[in-house]
Amino acid sequence: MRVSKGFNELQVSDIDVKAIEVSGHNHDPSQGSLVLSSNWIADSPTLISVFAEINFDQIKEDFNFSEEDKLTAVLRSYCKTTTMQHFGIPYSLSNNKMELELLIPSFEWADQSNLKLSIIHNTVDNQGFIPGKAILSKSRLFERSWSLVLSGSYSRSDVQSVDFGNGDGKKNGMWEIIVAPPIDIDSWMTVEQSSVVRIRVNEDRITELEIPQVEMLLKVDMIMSALESIFDPDISGDARDEIIEMILMPPNGSGSWVRFLSHIFPVAFPQGSLGVTQFWNGRKDEIRTRIQSYVSGVS
């Protein structure tokens, strides 16, 4: 049930959020939950940028704003694990563009956080009563939120720098991805990503990972390896169906492994659970292309 605040508010359709960047990586703002497990690092600052558009002139007309009425947009977050709240720099709206930023210092986020975009009627011109118009400064006219699923030290893939020059034919390789999926359904629901995925990086070529295209290929390989674990031949058809159902609708308290798969599964299989085994076996090249487009930020 919606409770009236006694004044008109902006509608979701009034604000067009174009993009969300987290430390330089793009995320789809249309999703209510954003998974950062492939690139978020707890021991580095996290910069969030939100780019949006608003029909400012139309809103001024609809709300009967005078030149004295001022709107301000701001980002804020709350992390339940660290019990810390962060606020971005307020952005005064004067045209149709909004570019908001929020900086989270190192080690002040963990597990999961909520991100909120708010628009405040910061200064109210009270010269004459206008029905539906806020009469108090700091009245909140709009709010939209996202859940940010973080990787953190407890759930990131286990990455190791190792010597590949041991005569096993891998000396010139760049990485090796090892996925050890859980052995039973209950474990699939609770296990953390770091316990399942291990990435061994050639220590002689570690600097090449700083090249964005190379980093992208590593992420694609890791995601493809993660998806392949779902179709392990040792998993029975009934068990696979149960795992896929769990991925599509992660139960409360699910570990980061299932949450990670639930985020990438719709990218790989846009048709849902229908015929996924046949789709995987017959169209891996197409799936890899989808994943690569997703990782590179192409919609």
Summarize pLDDT for 43-65 with one digit per residue, the tens. 678 999 999 998 888 877 777 77
191 Cβ contact list (under 8 Å, min separation 6): 182, 255, 257, 258
Q: Binning pLDDT at 50, 70 and 90, where does residue 134 land?
A: low
Q: What is the pLDDT of residues 142-152, one digit of tens each?
A: 889 888 877 54
The string over 47-60, giving b where at least 16 C-beta atoms fall within 10 Å of a residue's C-beta and e elsewhere, is ebbbebebebeebe
The per-residue pLDDT for 135 is 56
What 8-state DSSP symbol labels residue 14? Answer: G
The per-residue pLDDT for 247 is 92
What dotted CATH number matches 12-152?
Answer: 2.60.40
Across the chain, mean pLDDT equals: 81
From the list 40, 15, 19, 38, the residue with the least C-alpha distance to 28 is 19
Q: Binning pLDDT at 50, 70 and 90, where does residue 156 land?
A: low
Alpha helices in the chain (DSSP H): 56-62, 152-155, 185-190, 193-196, 212-230, 237-248, 256-268, 276-282, 284-295
Instruction: Give the mean model confidence (pLDDT) for residues 189-197.
Output: 82
| Per-residue tokens: 75 | 């980002």
Instruction: Give the mean model confidence (pLDDT) for residues 239-257.
Output: 88
Contact between 181 and 233 (Cβ < 8 Å): no
For residue 182, give Cα distances in angstroms to 121, 190, 194, 200, 269.
51, 9, 12, 20, 22
Q: Distance (Å, rounded) from C-alpha 281 to C-alpha 292?
A: 18
Q: Binning pLDDT at 50, 70 and 90, where does residue 169 land?
A: low
Element (H, E) at 171: none
* Lowest mean per-residue pLDDT among 161-165, 180-184, 189-193: 161-165
In DSSP notation, 119-137 reads: EEEEE---SS--TT---ST
Identify the bridge partners of residue 145 per DSSP, sorted by sequence position.
116
Instruction: Give the mean model confidence (pLDDT) for residues 270-294.
Output: 90
Q: Binning pLDDT at 50, 70 and 90, where does residue 288 land?
A: very high
CATH 2.60.40 residue window(s) in the chain: 12-152
- pLDDT at residue 133 is higher than 50: yes
Contact between 19 and 34 (Cβ < 8 Å): no
Q: pTM, whole model, 2 decimals?
A: 0.52
The per-residue pLDDT for 1 is 31
- pLDDT at residue 179 is higher than 70: yes
The larger pLDDT score, comparing residue 271 to residue 48, is at 48
The larger pLDDT score, comparing residue 22 to residue 121, is at 22
Instruction: Give the mean model confidence (pLDDT) for residues 248-257.
Output: 84
- pLDDT at residue 3 is higher than 60: no
- pLDDT at residue 254 is higher than 90: no
* Lowest mean per-residue pLDDT among 47-51, 279-283, 294-298: 294-298
* Lowest mean per-residue pLDDT among 106-115, 155-164, 256-265, 277-286: 155-164
